[in-house]
Amino acid sequence: MAVVEVKSGIYWVGAVDWDSRHFHGVTYTTRRGTTYNAYLVIGEQHKALVDTVYTPFSDVLVSHLRELVDLKDIDYVVVNHVEIDHSGALPRIMELCPQAQIYCSQRAVNPIKKHFGEHGWDITAVKTGDILDLGGKTIQFIEAPMLHWPDSMFSYVAEDKLLLPNDAFGQHLASSQRFDDQVDNAILMEEAAKYYANILMPFSTLVARKLEEISELGIEIDTIAPSHGLIWRQDPGQIITAYQNWATGRQTPGRVSPEIVVVFDTMWGSTEKMAEAVVDELSRQGWKVNLYSIGKSDYSDIMREVLEAKAVIIGSSTINNAMLPSLSPLMEDLVGLKPKGKLGAAFGSHGWKGGAVSQIANKMADAGIELVGDGLMVQWVPNAEDLEASRELAREVGAVLAKKYSR
Ligand code: FEO
């Protein structure tokens, strides 16, 4: 991919990973690949590289930089975040630019040494408000702990109103294009939502606070260049507004997502019959609802839908006095990602003895989901009365939602 000028004297020098299909293990699927974005900022006196790339793409970064400068002329390397997809090429860069000073947050200093060893690199720890003057261009630092790690920070080039927020506002989306106006907006926002749901959702309170802080700092932003995916130059307000909504568990106005997500697994079809009755009843009441059989579905796609949904209803057959193991990754994701402001309900079937429904309900409570009812359990195969009870569970959820959202 070619080097691209983002602003006058500021270049994208990153790498496109067309083959990435998973991130952070196997449950987050990245079916559209990803990018590792790095930026070269050229001032009148100094040059700074902001972030590097994932280790296997080190040569791509070096080749991009060589198109623009002699590497010995790079004075600073800004490490906004130590995670290896952004700092993996740091040893290669420091080998070629041994004179460069590393700028990072205080929390990043030890992780850099633990990741790459004691090289005697010149490392300067910075805090919010500190400024690196390149001559005609300045880089202001804004600490952003937990977006995505405690060490994370944003860099801001005031002269160009350019925010370089590392992981925040990213998407796992490989493309030959670099800017938001060059790709399909629906796909771009879908990947941005999936990224938020699976990476940033547990830190929503901090996201909301950081957005307020940036607003209070009076920072003007006309372009947001994250470390993954496309650069927001046409409408950075679109992704800021989306983050404000996602951080508070709201659906983005103008987007149409399912209001209720129903997920189940079934052993011999009983829980599936209950799930279908729940979905049918919700649909009859006018709710937008999607149904997922977990064995045929993608965990991270479900989490993306949960992000904007109002309720999540989960069912399972019982095995060994517990839910079916296929649901465990989803339940652990819910507990870890802690979606904001969701209602929930649990249902399921069992033979001789139950256990799945209470386990699901407990996990939902751990995830901070507000439960409707105590959970619906059916023994053996649901009869007409049991299916009516499933419909009644759907009506209960619908009634609470209608009250909560004044529908
Ligand atoms: Fe893209 Fe937290 O690394």
pLDDT in tens, 382-399: 999 999 999 999 999 999
Answer whether residue 372 is part of any domain.
yes
pLDDT at 257 over 90: no
Same domain, 83 and 117: yes
159 is a domain residue: yes
The answer to whether residue 298 sits within a structural domain is yes
Please list the alpha-helical segments (H only) found in 309-383. Answer: 328-337, 356-366
Q: What is the mean pLDDT of residues 151-168?
A: 98
| Rounded-to-integer distance, Cα 205 and Cα 221, Å | 22
Q: What's the whole-model pTM score?
A: 0.95
Please tell me the distance between residue 112's alpha carbon and the centre of ligand 1 in angstroms: 14
Residues of the domain holding 47: 4-247
Residue where a domain stops, chosen among 247, 271, 290: 247
232 in a structural domain: yes
pLDDT of the residue at 26: 87
344 and 369 assigned to the same domain: yes
CATH number of the domain that residue 327 is part of: 3.40.50.360
Residue 213 is part of a domain; what is its CATH number?
3.60.15.10
In this model, does residue 251 exceed pLDDT 80?
A: no
Examine the fold and report which residue of 247, 273, 289 is the final residue of a domain before the chain moves on.
247
What's the pLDDT tens digit per position in 50-93? 999 999 999 999 999 999 999 999 999 999 999 999 999 999 99
Q: Is the dihedral of CA 171, 177, 178, 179 positive or negative?
A: negative
pLDDT of residue 279: 98
186 and 319 in a single domain? The answer is: no
56 and 164 assigned to the same domain: yes
pLDDT over 80 (residue 226): yes
Percent of the chain with pLDDT over 90: 95
Q: Which atom of ligand 1 is nearest to the CA of 227?
A: 1
* pLDDT at 250 (0 to 100): 78
Per-residue pLDDT of 328-374, as tens digits, reads 999 999 999 999 999 999 999 999 999 999 999 999 999 999 999 99
Q: How far is CA 368 from CA 4, 312, 365, 371, in A?
A: 43, 12, 5, 9
Pocket lining: 172 vs ligand 1, CB cutoff 6 Å: no
**Whose alpha carbon is nearest atom 3 of ligand 1?**
83
Of 83, 190, 272, 333, which is the active-site residue? 83
pLDDT at 260 over 80: yes
Q: How much is the average pLDDT of 254-261?
A: 86
Does residue 253 lie within any of the structural domains? no
Residue 20 has what pLDDT? 96
- 100 DSSP assignment: P
What does the pLDDT look like over 132-149, one tens digit per residue? 999 999 999 999 999 999
Residue 388 sits in the same domain as residue 265: yes
- 271 shares its domain with 243: no
Contacts of range 111-117, beta carbons closer than 8 Å, 24 or more positions apart: 111/82, 111/151, 112/79, 112/82, 112/87, 115/82, 115/84, 115/87, 116/87, 116/90, 116/91
Is 253's pLDDT higher than 80? no
Closest-lying ligand 1 atom to the alpha carbon of residue 167: 1
Pairing, β 101-105 against β 28-29 = unpaired
Instruction: Give domain status of residue 254, yes or no.
Output: no
Do 150 and 207 have their domain in common?
Answer: yes
**Arithmetic mean of pLDDT, 153-177:** 98
- Alpha-carbon torsion angle 82, 86, 88, 92, nearest 10: -110
Residues 217 and 316 in one domain: no
Q: Are residues 240 and 265 in the same domain?
A: no
Domain-located, residue 407: no
- Say whether pLDDT at 1 is over 90: no
* Domain total of the chain: 2
* H or E element in which residue 61 lies: helix 58-68
Residue 89 inside a domain? The answer is yes
Q: What is the pLDDT of residue 200?
A: 95
Query: Does residue 215 sit in the same domain as residue 289?
Result: no
Question: Pick from 247, 276, 294: which residue ends a domain?
Answer: 247
Residue 265 shares a structural domain with residue 241: no
- Asked whether 97 and 77 are in contact (CB, 8 A), the reply is yes
Place of tokens 């105590």: 374
Measure 96 CA to ligand 1 centroid, in angstroms: 24
Q: From the CB of 32, is ligand 1 less than 6 Å away? A: no
The b-or-e profile of 330-361 (16+ CB within 10 A means b, else e) is bbebbbebbbbebbbbbbbbbeeebbbbbbbb
Which atom of ligand 1 has the smallest separation from the CA of 149?
A: 2
Rounded CA separation 242/240 (Å): 5
Q: Both 360 and 396 in a single domain?
A: yes
Provide the pLDDT for residue 330.
97
DSSP β-ladder status, 343-350 and 322-323? unpaired
